[in-house]
Amino acid sequence: MEMLQNIAELEKFSPRRLANETKAQKFVERKLTECGVDFELQGFRNSIPEARKARLTVDGEDVLCMSTSFKSGIIEEKNLISSLAVSGRYYEEPNINFNPYADGFSLATFYRAPSLAIRRRDMQKVMNAETVRGEVVVSRKAHVCANIIAGNARSPKAVAICHYDSVLGGALDNSSGTAVLLELCRKGFWKDNMIVFSGCEELSFDTPIYWGKGYKELENDYKKELIKARRLLVVDMVGSSPPTTISDGNIKLAAFPVKDGRIFRKASIVSMSGNEWRRIYHSSEDVVANMDIRCLEATVKFVSAAMVGREHLPRAKRCNHLLGLRFRDAGIQPGEGARVGGLRQ
CATH number at residue 177: 3.40.630.10
Domain that holds residue 275: 2-45+143-330
Q: What is the C-alpha to C-alpha distance for residues 300 and 207, in angstroms, rounded to an integer?
A: 34
Residue 120, Cβ neighbours under 10 Å: how many? 17
| Backbone phi and psi for residue 57, each to the nearest 5 degrees, phi listed first | -115, 125
- Contact present, 58 and 132 (Cβ < 8 Å): yes
Check pLDDT > 60 for residue 172: yes
The per-residue pLDDT for range 177-186, each reduced to its tens digit, is 999 999 999 9
Q: Is residue 167 a part of any domain in this protein?
A: yes
- Contact present, 293 and 261 (Cβ < 8 Å): no
The per-residue pLDDT for range 76-112, each reduced to its tens digit, is 989 999 998 755 667 889 999 999 999 999 999 999 9
Total structural domains in the chain? 2
Are both 123 and 162 inside the same structural domain? no
Residue 127, Cβ neighbours under 10 Å: how many? 12
Q: Is residue 295 a part of any domain in this protein?
A: yes
Share of the chain above pLDDT 90, in %: 82
Are both 282 and 215 inside the same structural domain? yes
Q: What is the C-alpha to C-alpha distance for residues 25 and 233, in angstroms, rounded to an integer?
A: 20
Are both 92 and 231 inside the same structural domain? no
Q: What is the C-alpha to C-alpha distance for residues 90 and 83, in angstroms, rounded to an integer?
A: 10
Beta sheet of 95-98, edge-to-edge order = 66-67, 115-117, 95-98, 80-82
CA-to-CA dists, residue 294 to 172, 241, 298, 321, 344, angstroms: 14, 9, 6, 24, 37
pLDDT at 92: 87
Are both 41 and 68 inside the same structural domain? no
Are both 131 and 257 inside the same structural domain? no
pLDDT at 252: 86
The per-residue pLDDT for range 245-283, each reduced to its tens digit, is 987 778 888 899 999 999 999 999 999 998 999 999 999
CA-to-CA dists, residue 323 to 219, 295, 337, angstroms: 21, 24, 14
Segments of the chain assigned E as strands: 39-58, 61-63, 66-67, 73-75, 80-82, 95-98, 115-117, 132-151, 158-163, 194-198, 231-235, 243-246, 267-272
The per-residue pLDDT for range 187-212, each reduced to its tens digit, is 999 999 999 999 999 999 998 899 99
Q: Is residue 303 a part of any domain in this protein?
A: yes
Q: Is 240 in a helix, a strand, or coil?
A: coil
Are both 77 and 182 inside the same structural domain? no
Distance between first and last Cα of the chain? 41
pLDDT at 168: 97
CATH number at residue 60: 3.50.30.30
Q: Is residue 222 a part of any domain in this protein?
A: yes
- Residues 6 or more apart whose Cβ sits within 8 Å of residue 306: 158, 231, 233, 268, 270, 313
Check pLDDT > 60 for residue 340: no
Query: pLDDT category, 323, cuts 50, 70, 90?
Result: very low
pLDDT at 248: 78
Confidence (pTM):
0.89
Check pLDDT > 90 for residue 68: yes
Domain end point (choices 94, 115, 140) = 140
Q: Is residue 340 a part of any domain in this protein?
A: no
Q: Is residue 12 a part of any domain in this protein?
A: yes
CA-to-CA dists, residue 191 to 194, 233, 303, angstroms: 8, 17, 15
The per-residue pLDDT for range 16-25, each reduced to its tens digit, is 999 999 999 9
Q: Which of 43-52, 88-97, 118-127, 305-314 is least confident?
A: 305-314
The per-residue pLDDT for range 109-159, each reduced to its tens digit, is 999 999 999 999 999 999 999 999 999 999 999 999 999 999 999 999 999
pLDDT at 345: 24
- Contact present, 34 and 183 (Cβ < 8 Å): no
